[in-house]
Amino acid sequence: MQVTPVYLEVVDFIAAGPTPDRIASFRPSDAARERVMELLQRQKAGSLQPQEEAELDDYLQLEHLMRLIKARARRYASA
Count CB-CB contacts under 10 A for residue 16. Answer: 8
Angle CA 24–28–34, to nearest 5: 145
Cβ proximity of 20 and 76 under 8 Å: yes
Q: What is the pLDDT of residues 23-75, one digit of tens each?
A: 999 999 999 999 999 999 999 999 999 999 999 999 999 999 999 999 999 98
- pLDDT of res. 4: 81
- pLDDT of res. 1: 62
d(CA 46, CA 18): 39
Say what the pTM is: 0.81
